[in-house]
Amino acid sequence: MTEIDPTSTLGALVTQRPGRIALFERLRLDYCCGGGQTLAEASTRRGLDVHTVCAVLEALDDAPVDRAEFDDFDWRRASLDELCTYIVDRHAGLRKELPRIDELLSTVVRVHGAGHPELHDLQRAFLAIREELEPHLELEERTLFPACRALEADGASIDEALLTAHERDHEHVGDGLAALRELTSDYDSSHALCGTHRALLGALRSLELDLHEHIHEENNVLFCRVRELNGALPCATEGRLALTNREDARRRPGDARAEALPRCCQTWIIENARRRRRPHRPPAAAGRSPSDPAGAQRQRRTGAIAE
């Protein structure tokens, strides 16, 4: 039986089993930029009972299911070159998706903006993310990833300031994603103004998940490996990331008694348990051979979170 240690960091828990991402997304536990928080700390800040969260994780981990459907390739065993190559592949997807979302947003604002001024706020928030993210991707590919490959091949150490700067950029993107979620009322499509608006909300939701996973893979996997090779402390003993002032304001110690689990999470657990009892049919191969972990990972992500 799996036993979850509440002192484990969120980043470590997701790195061990990426299938846990779905539950953490439902509980709004920040495993990417806030991956240095322990499960106990993160649960307390969200007003959740950590023992209940541990019990749910243990139940999901021990459920009789084809593990390959939920847990992806273990990137802790990959080389830095493989990690960097995989992340660059994800960059290609972002470069296609960001202009598509921009176009959807422009259409929605043009058609409905006069009667719904909040759409202009949404557009400004998205453009701020895009304007920060696109040069960030370029910088990673021109400086960070070559440095990671050189570290592995030749032992050329990487300046800690470079990693810290990228983590700071990731925090800014995380703040922007939180703003998008707030401006769209959690991407609630029941209030969509038209089909294009509904498509926009779905695209923004998918972007959020993709970027959460993307940042986790860099902060909690790639950067941890780099720091270990640099001779720094192991990842498990790295300092924990501080929450933003906004998050601290939402939950201060003693503000409210911890609840068991949000209702949306309880519903998700029931739906997920039912889905797990169905026979698993692997998706058809698309773009990469089944032996390629990066391609297989993207295939398994489809439908990973029940809405």
Query: Which pLDDT belongs to residue 14?
Result: 81
φ/ψ of 9, rounded to 5, equals: -80, 155
Q: Between residues 33 and 87, which one has the greater pLDDT? A: 87
Domain shared by 21 and 92, yes or no? no
CA-CA distances (angstroms) from residue 1 to 27, 64, 108, 199?
A: 23, 12, 50, 41
Q: Between residues 129 and 10, which one has the greater pLDDT? A: 129
Domain shared by 98 and 221, yes or no? yes
Domain shared by 82 and 43, yes or no? no
In a domain, 239, yes or no: no
Query: Which pLDDT belongs to residue 249?
Result: 36
In a domain, 48, yes or no: yes
Domain final residue, candidates 170, 195, 230 = 230
Structural domains of the chain, count? 2
In a domain, 110, yes or no: yes
Question: Which residue range forms the structural domain that includes residue 115?
Answer: 78-230
Domain shared by 97 and 175, yes or no? yes
Domain shared by 139 and 220, yes or no? yes
Is the predicted pLDDT of residue 245 greater than 70, yes or no? no
8's CB contacts (< 8 A; 6+ apart) are 38, 39
Domain shared by 220 and 181, yes or no? yes
As a three-state string, the secondary structure of the chain is: CCCCCCCCEHHHHHHHCHHHHHHHHHHCCCCCCCCCCEHHHHHHHCCECHHHHHHHHHHHHHCCCCHHHHCCCCHHHCCHHHHHHHHHHHHHHHHHHHHHHHHHHHHHHHHHCCCCCHHHHHHHHHHHHHHHHHHHHHHHHHHHHHHHHHHHHHCCCCCHHHHHHHHHHHHHHHHHHHHHHHHCCCCCHHHCCCHHHHHHHHHHHHHHHHHHHHHHHHHHHHHHHHHHHCCCCCHHHCCCCCCCHHHHHHCCCCCCCCECCCHHHHHHHHHHHHHHHCCCCCCCCCCCCCCCHHHHHHHHHCCCCCC
Query: Which pLDDT belongs to residue 235?
Result: 53
Domain shared by 48 and 106, yes or no? no
Is the predicted pLDDT of residue 129 greater than 50, yes or no? yes
Is the predicted pLDDT of residue 287 greater than 60, yes or no? no
User: Could you read off the pLDDT of 175-210 as tens digits, one per residue?
Assistant: 999 999 999 999 999 989 999 999 999 999 999 989
Mean pLDDT in the chain? 76
Domain shared by 37 and 136, yes or no? no
In three-state secondary structure terms, 30 is: coil
Domain shared by 67 and 86, yes or no? no
| Partners of 9 in beta bridges | 38
No. of helices (H) and no. of strands (E), the chain: 14, 0
Query: Which pLDDT belongs to residue 254?
Result: 38
User: CA 302, 182, 10 angle in degrees (round to 5)?
Assistant: 55
User: Could you read off the pLDDT of 87-106 as tens digits, one per residue?
Assistant: 999 999 999 999 999 999 99
Query: Which pLDDT belongs to residue 69?
Result: 43
* Environment class of 303 (CB within 10 Å of its CB; exposed 0-12, middle 13-18, buried 19+): exposed
Domain shared by 172 and 132, yes or no? yes
Domain shared by 139 and 190, yes or no? yes
Query: Which pLDDT belongs to residue 43?
Result: 87
User: Could you read off the pLDDT of 45-91 as tens digits, one per residue?
Assistant: 888 888 888 888 888 776 654 444 444 556 667 889 999 999 999 99
First to last CA, the chain: 28
